[in-house]
Amino acid sequence: MIETVFTPVQSLVGGALIGLAAVLLMATMGRVMGATGILAGVFHPVNLPDWSWRAAVLAGMISGPPLVALLTGQMPAVQVPTSATMLVVGGFIVGIGVTFGSGCTSGHGVCGMARLSPRSIVATLTFMVTTAITVYVIRHVLGA
């Protein structure tokens, strides 16, 4: 049985940092902080300044866990209660959703909803409903 851990303080701090980063990126660069768009732009940049800010954001995302380890003396605990095959399948499905949804949860859910974008509100509702159904099926129908 998969146990869900309740971490309100960490979740609040993490959410506040994501929101602050999104506001700062919009205020300084006029860009939406959607993780998949940032990643795609690293591989297909418009120009060097465009690549530079995207690479800096990705470097910040990647350096987070080592920074936590440096400050606390241990890496953050990450438990993935599924097989590598399921991770690949899940990643593929998410990739399809990101493509058809024209963005990911960070772009639509954090930035788009803050701008009251109807498309982002619909996309985020779709993400959340799909997630709830998936969790229900995996936990209660399949018994994983």
Residue 97 lies in a domain: yes
Residues 108-135 have pLDDT tens digits of 888 888 889 999 999 999 989 988 998 8
Residue 3 lies in a domain: no
Give tens-digit pLDDT for 67-78: 989 999 998 888
Q: 80 Cβ partners below 8 Å, 6+ apart?
A: 87
pTM: predicted TM-score of the whole model, two decimal places: 0.74
Write the single-letter amino acid at 8. Answer: P
Q: Which residues contact 60 (CB under 8 A, 6 or more apart)?
A: 21
For residue 113, give its domain range.
8-141
Q: How many CA atoms lie within 13 A of 100 on its CB side?
A: 9
On the question of pLDDT at 102 being above 90, the answer is: no
State how many domains the chain has: 1
